[in-house]
Structure 1
Amino acid sequence: MYRYDDFDAAFVAERNRQFRAQVERRIDGSLTEEEFKPLRLMNGLYLQLHAYMLRVAIPYGTLRSAQMTQLAYIADKWDKGYGHFTTRQNIQYNWPKLRDIPDMLDALAEVEMHAIQTSGNTIRNVTADHFAGAAEDEVADPRPVAELIRQWSTDHPEFQFMPRKFKIAVTGSPNDRAVTAAHDIGIRIVERDGEIGYQVLVGGGLGRTPMIGKVISDFVSGDDLLPYLEAIVSVWNVLGRRDNKFKSRIKITVHEHGIDAIRDLVEERFAEVKPLFSGVDQEMLAAITAQFAAPEFRQAPTDAYDAAYESDPTFRAWADTNLFAHRADGYAIAQISLKAHGETPGDATSEQMRVMADLAERFGHDELRISHEQNVVLPHVHKSDLPEVHKILKAHRLATANIGLVSDIIACPGMDYCALATARSIPIAQQIATRFDELKIEHEIGDLKIKISGCINACGHHHVGHIGILGLDRAGVENYQVTLGGDHTETASLGERTGPGFSADEIVGAVETIVETYMSERESAEETFIQTYRRVGMAPFKAALYPEKAKADAEARANAA
C-alpha cells in the first residue's frame, strides 16, 4: 500500500495550516460565507442541511487498519460516533463543528489521509475496483495507476478551477466493478499482444443528463496514459461550458462536439504535452508500483472453513453470498455488509470501524477496501480464518448475508442531510430492506441492484440500478420515479422509466410488484433480473405496475379491432 514520502507529508501539513487560518478568519467574521465557500470546498467541507459536512478522501478505496481506527477516533471525538461511506469510496462526517475541522484534518494527516479535492470544480477522489490486487479475474492491479493519477491531479495548476467537477475511475478487470462507463474518464486495463495498456472512455456521467461513456481510445500504452489524460482534461477545460453549470460536464462537451471531433483535438493536444513528461511519470509509476507488492500469502489447510461450511447454515449463507474468488489458493475476498436490514446504507459506527480495523490487522494482511456500493471489503483472508471472522462480524451486526441482493441498496443521504435533496432516500431504503427481510425471499430472488437518489444529481447512481428510484418533489409531496434495466458493469446501460411516479407510501409496494413480476417471468432460478429484463423488456413490468392503464389500453385495442 502507498505510504507518504516527505513531500506528501509536508504538502498536506501546509494545506492544513492554510485552511486553519482560513477557518479562523471565517469564525471571526473576516471572511463571509460566500468568500469562505470556495476555500472550504477545496478542502472537502460542505454546508449541508443541518450542519457542515466533511468529506474525507479514501483514494481508490484502500485503507490500513490504523487509518480505519483513526476514522473511528474522529467520529467519536468530533462527530456523533459514526461515519457514512459513499459511492466515491469516501467517508463523510455529517455533524462536525467548524472550529473543529482543522483539528480533524490534522488527525487525518497523522495517518496519511486528507480531504483535499473531495469537492470543488477539480479532479475528485480517484476510485478503483474494490477487489484490486486480489481478484481472480484481474488483468493487473489498478491502484498504482490510480495513485499516479491522484498525485498528478492534486493541486494541478491548470485543473483547479474547471467548468465543473471531474471524476475518474480505474478497473483492472474485464468484469467492471468500478462503474467506469459512468465517469468523466473511465480507464480499463487491458492486454493486447502481450502488452498491458488502457482502454479509455470519456463522457460518462449521471445526474440530470445521464450518459454512458464513449471509447475515445481502445488502447493507450502505459507510457502514454498520463499525458493522454492530461490532453483530455486540457481539451475539455478549454471547450467546456461555463455559462450553464447544468451543461458544463465533459459528457455535454462530447455530446455537443461528437466523439470523433473530441478525439482529434485530444490527439493534437497529446502530441504537444507528451514530450513535457520526459518519462518522469514512468519513474513515478515504478516507485509507486513497488509499494503495492502483494502480501505474503500463507499456505495452510482449509479444514476449519470446510467444517463450518458443512455444519453451520448461517455461515454457509454468508460465505455463499459475501465471499468472492481470490487469486491466491486458500484465500477469499470477504465483503462486509453495511446494509443490515433496517439500517442506514453505508453508515458504520465507531465501534464497527474498530472491529473491522482489528479484523484487517489480525486476519487480513492489514488491508481494507471501501466499495462504491457502500460496503467494506477484507481483500485477503485465508479461508481457515473465515469462521472466526464471521463470528466477530456477527457479534457486531456486520455479518448480514446480502451482498448483491435486494437489501444491499445504494442510497444517497437524501433529505435527511443534503440541502440539494428533494425527497428522502434513507427511509425508503430501510423500508424496502425490511420488507424483503420479512418476506424471506432475498436469496431466492438472487442478484438484484436497487439504487436510490434523493434528487436528480444521482449520487445514489439510480440510473444504473437494475431498479432505480429517484425521489422528487411534486407540489410539496415526495414522489418516486422508477427506472428498470440499468447496469453499472462492463455491459453498462441506463434504466428506462416505467411511467408515473409513486408516493412514499406506494414505493415499497411498487418494488415488490416489480420483483414478483420478475420471478414470474424468469425462465429459471439462474436467470438474473437484468437478464430477464433484457429478454422480456418493459411491457410486463409496466402492466403489473399500472394495471388500470393496461386494462384501458387493452380495451382500446379491442374496440379498434
Structure 2
Amino acid sequence: MWGKKVMNMATSLVDKNEIFSFRESAELFLKGEMDQDTFKKIRLIQGVYVQRETNRYMLRVRIPWGGINSQQLERIADLTDIYSDSSCHITTRQNLQFYNMNLKQVCEMITYLSEVGITSREASGNVVRNIVSCHLSGVCQKECFDVTPYADFLTRFLIRRSEFQNLPRKFKISFSACQMDCGLTAIQDLGFIAVVQKGVRGFKVVVGGGLGAAPKTAQVLEEFIGLELLIPTVLAILSVFNKRGIRNNRLRARLKFLVEEIGIEEFKKSVFRVRDHLIKTETLPVLDYEEEAPSPSLNDVSYSIKEESPEFNRWFFSNCVLEKKNGTFAINIPVPLGEISSETLRKIAKIADHYSLGKIRTTNNQNLVIFGIKPFDLKSVYDLLLKAGLAMPCSSRLCDVTSCPGASTCPSAITNSKALTAELIRFFQNGGKSFQEIQASIKICGCPNSCGQHHTATLGLSGRMQLFKDKQVPSYELVLGGQIKDGFLKFAESACKIPSKRVVSAISRILHWYRREKQEDETLENFICRKGVYSFKDILESLIDIEHSPLAPEEYQDWGEDTDFQLKVKPSEC
C-alpha cells in the first residue's frame, strides 16, 4: 500500500545519545577495556579511520548531496584550527575529511559538529554511504527536475536503519538530474536518473556499477519508475544484496559482483519479488515535491561582460553557470588538491552569506559551488575570490586535478598521490601554463582502489610499485581515454607504468604531442581514441624503459619524501 505523501522525513541526521555512546566506547578502548576489533566496528560506523601514523585518526563527515551552509562552514573552520591542522579535505563523494587527530579530539569534533547538524554516522563501514547528486541540481537548465530533495529524503529514511547496518560491503547511491549523468550514477551500486515520461516524474534505475581494481558500468534495472516506487525499490535492492551478497570474500563483496554472478535478469526477478511484497504489506513514505517555476524567463536575462578584463572573462566563461531561475549564476570555486584551509573556509562562508543566502555545495571533483549570484554582483564576487586565491579559471579544465590523499595519510595507499598532484599543479602554473584550459581531466589515486576515480579520467594515474635491481621504485599506472559525460561512460585503458618522478614529464610530453598533431577542434579524448592507447607508449618510451634509461637516485624516492621508497601498505578500511 502507498504511504502518505510527505515533504521530508522527521529523522534527524544527528543523534546525541549515539555520540555519547561512541565517547564511552572510545574511553573503554583507550583504557584497554575494549579490544581493537570490537572498537573498529564501532568507530567505522561513525566515520573514524586509522591513519598511517600510530594513534592518529581521520574523521569523515557526511555532506548529503553536497549541501552545506555558511554557518556550518564557519564551525568547520573553527574546529579545524583546534583539532585538524587548520584544513580539511573534500572527497569525490562530496564528504569532508579531517586528519591527524587523537581519539579524544575525534570525539570532541563529532560533538561540536553535531551542534550545527553535521554527522559522521555511516560515512564509512558496510552500510549505505553518503548519498550524492549532481552539484548543479536545482539550478541546471538541462535538468528534468531537481533531485536534491529526493537524495535528502532517502538519506534521512535510510540513516541508522537497523536491517542495513551490516551489509556484505559498502553501498553507494547517487542521483542525476538528467541523462548527462553529472551525478555519476554509472559508477554507483545504485543510481537514479531523473526522467519525465508523459508528463510524469520518475527515475531510470541502474545497478551494479563501481570502480576499484575491477571497474564495472552500472546496468539498467528499469527504464522508468514513478516517484512512489523510489523507497520500495531501494529497500528491495538493499534486502536482496543483504541476503545474497558475497560475504566470504571481501574483494568480491560489492553489489557489482553479485549482479555479475547471478546475472542482471535473475537480480531483477529477486528485486521485483521483494518489492511487490513490500508494497502489499508495508506503508511506505512518498516524497511529492513541487518546484517553483523559473522566473523570470531565461530569455529576459542578459549579461554583458565586454567591459571587464580578459582575466575576468576567462573566469566567467570557465567557472560561472547561468541558473534556470531568476537569471542568477552558480559559481564553481576550484579547490586545489581538494584541500581547503580554515582561513579560506571563512572567506567562502562570508561570500556565501553576503551574496548567496549562505548556500554552498561540495562537488564530486573536490570543488565548491555557491549559488544565486546576481549578475551585477559577479565582479564583486570575482574580486573577493581573486583576493582569496580562488579565482582560477579551471572548472572542468585539465589543471583542475582530482586526487585522493594517498600515502600522505592513507594506510592502504602505495604512493603519495597528493604530493604528485601538487607537482602537476605547479607544472600547469609554470611551464605548462598554455595547457591549463584544455577541457579534459586528470585524476590520481595512490592505489588501485580508485578513490580519486582515475578510471574515468582523460589522463588517469594509479599508484604502483616497480622493482628494478632489487630496489623499489614508486610508480604510477597511466590510463588513458576515460570519459563519463552526456550519459556516456568509457573506462580509461591502461597504457604503461611510469616512475613517479617522471610522471610530470610524461604528461608534458603527451600534451605537446596532442598540440602538434591534433586535428581542428579535436578534443584530447578524441585524440587519444584516434591515436590508440598503445601509440602513447612509443612517445613515452624513454620515460617508461627504466632498464635502458637509468634512474637517478632521487627517482627511488616518492614525491614529498627524502628517503628511498619502501612499500608500506596495511589492509584497507575503505
Same fold (TM over 0.5): yes
Structure 1 residue 54 displacement after superposition: 0.4
Structure 1 residue 394 displacement after superposition: 1.1
The corresponding residue for 1:478 is 474
Contact 2:328 2:375 in 1 (8 A): yes
1:239 to 1:88, Cα distance in 2 relative to 1, 3 A: same
1:314 aligns with 2:299: no
The corresponding residue for 1:24 is 27
Structure 1 residue 442 displacement after superposition: 4.6
Structure 1 residue 3 displacement after superposition: 12
Alignment counterpart, residue 503 of structure 2, candidates 507, 512, 516: 507
Alignment counterpart, residue 529 of structure 1, candidates 505, 524, 544: 524
1:82 to 1:293, Cα distance in 2 relative to 1, 3 A: farther
**Corresponding letter in the other structure for 1:338:** V
Taking structure 1 as the reference length, what is the TM-score of the superposition? Answer: 0.90
1:462 to 1:172, Cα distance in 2 relative to 1, 3 A: same
1:452-467 to 2 correspondences below 5 Å:
452-467=444-459
Q: Using the TM superposition, name which of 322-331 and 189-198 deviates more.
A: 322-331
User: Partner of 2:117: helix, strand, or coil?
Assistant: coil
Structure 1 residue 440 displacement after superposition: 5.0
Superposed CA offset, 1:533-559 (max 9, x none): 334432443332237999xxxxxxxxx
Alignment counterpart, residue 42 of structure 1, candidates 34, 42, 45: 45
1:183-194 to 2 correspondences below 5 Å:
183-194=188-199
1:447 aligns with 2:443: no
User: Partner of 2:411: helix, strand, or coil?
Assistant: coil
The corresponding residue for 2:514 is 518
Contact 1:182 1:488 in 2 (8 A): no
Q: Matched residues in 2 for 1:217 and 1:178: separation?
A: 18
The corresponding residue for 1:55 is 60
Contact 1:302 1:384 in 2 (8 A): no
Q: Matched residues in 2 for 1:12 and 1:294: separation?
A: 36
Q: Which has the higher helix share?
A: 1
Alignment counterpart, residue 322 of structure 2, candidates 322, 325, 336: 325
**Matched-pair identity in %:** 29
Alignment counterpart, residue 12 of structure 1, candidates 15, 18, 24: 15
Q: Matched residues in 1 for 2:136 and 2:156: separation?
A: 22
Q: Matched residues in 2 for 1:302 and 1:12: separation?
A: 45
Alignment counterpart, residue 128 of structure 1, candidates 113, 128, 133: 133
Structure 1 residue 34 displacement after superposition: 2.1
1:336-351 to 2 correspondences below 5 Å:
336-339=333-336, 345-351=337-343
User: Partner of 1:402: helix, strand, or coil?
Assistant: coil
Structure 1 residue 491 displacement after superposition: 0.6
1:538 aligns with 2:533: yes
Contact 1:53 1:93 in 2 (8 A): yes
Q: Matched residues in 2 for 1:40 and 1:95: separation?
A: 16
Contact 2:294 2:326 in 1 (8 A): no
Structure 1 residue 398 displacement after superposition: 1.1
The corresponding residue for 2:350 is 358
Contact 1:405 1:443 in 2 (8 A): no
User: Partner of 1:89: helix, strand, or coil?
Assistant: coil
1:112 aligns with 2:108: no
The corresponding residue for 1:556 is none
Structure 1 residue 488 displacement after superposition: 2.5
**Corresponding letter in the other structure for 1:8:** S
Contact 2:332 2:368 in 1 (8 A): yes
Q: Matched residues in 1 for 2:453 and 2:321: separation?
A: 23
Q: Using the TM superposition, name which of 506-515 and 214-223 deviates more.
A: 506-515
**Corresponding letter in the other structure for 1:436:** F
Contact 1:133 1:294 in 2 (8 A): no
1:350-499 to 2 correspondences below 5 Å:
350-442=342-434, 446-475=438-467, 476-489=472-485, 490-499=487-496
1:483 to 1:464, Cα distance in 2 relative to 1, 3 A: same
The corresponding residue for 1:207 is 212
Superposed CA offset, 1:144-201 (max 9, x none): 1111211222111221111111101111122221111111111101111111111111
1:521 to 1:328, Cα distance in 2 relative to 1, 3 A: farther
Structure 1 residue 109 displacement after superposition: 1.5
Alignment counterpart, residue 102 of structure 1, candidates 93, 107, 130: 107
Taking structure 2 as the reference length, what is the TM-score of the superposition? Answer: 0.88
The corresponding residue for 2:280 is 275
**Corresponding letter in the other structure for 2:318:** T
Alignment counterpart, residue 259 of structure 1, candidates 259, 264, 281: 264
Q: Unpaired runs of 5+ in structure 2?
A: 1-5, 546-574
Q: Matched residues in 2 for 1:158 and 1:90: separation?
A: 24
Alignment counterpart, residue 156 of structure 2, candidates 148, 151, 164: 151
**Corresponding letter in the other structure for 1:491:** F
The corresponding residue for 1:342 is none
Contact 2:399 2:436 in 1 (8 A): no
Q: Using the TM superposition, name which of 145-154 and 539-548 deviates more.
A: 539-548
Q: Matched residues in 2 for 1:190 and 1:295: separation?
A: 19
The corresponding residue for 1:87 is 92
Q: Matched residues in 1 for 2:281 and 2:155: separation?
A: 19
Q: Matched residues in 2 for 1:7 and 1:268: separation?
A: 28
The corresponding residue for 2:180 is 175
1:46 to 1:294, Cα distance in 2 relative to 1, 3 A: farther
**Corresponding letter in the other structure for 2:502:** E
Alignment counterpart, residue 139 of structure 1, candidates 117, 120, 144: 144
Aligned CA RMSD, in angstroms, stands at 2.5
Q: Matched residues in 2 for 1:75 and 1:547: separation?
A: 44
User: Partner of 2:171: helix, strand, or coil?
Assistant: coil
1:82 to 1:121, Cα distance in 2 relative to 1, 3 A: same
Contact 1:84 1:347 in 2 (8 A): yes
Structure 1 residue 89 displacement after superposition: 0.5
Structure 1 residue 514 displacement after superposition: 1.9
Q: Matched residues in 2 for 1:310 and 1:527: separation?
A: 31
**Corresponding letter in the other structure for 2:357:** H
Q: Matched residues in 1 for 2:363 and 2:256: separation?
A: 24
User: Partner of 1:187: helix, strand, or coil?
Assistant: strand
1:174 to 1:534, Cα distance in 2 relative to 1, 3 A: same
The corresponding residue for 2:564 is none
User: Partner of 2:139: helix, strand, or coil?
Assistant: coil
User: Partner of 1:34: helix, strand, or coil?
Assistant: helix
**Corresponding letter in the other structure for 1:533:** I
1:87 to 1:297, Cα distance in 2 relative to 1, 3 A: farther
Structure 1 residue 127 displacement after superposition: 0.6
Q: Matched residues in 1 for 2:78 and 2:458: separation?
A: 37
1:522 to 1:325, Cα distance in 2 relative to 1, 3 A: farther
Q: Matched residues in 2 for 1:117 and 1:101: separation?
A: 15
User: Partner of 1:147: helix, strand, or coil?
Assistant: helix
Superposed CA offset, 1:69-97 (max 9, x none): 11111111222111111111011000222
User: Partner of 2:201: helix, strand, or coil?
Assistant: strand
Contact 1:137 1:174 in 2 (8 A): no
Contact 1:132 1:172 in 2 (8 A): yes
Structure 1 residue 103 displacement after superposition: 2.0
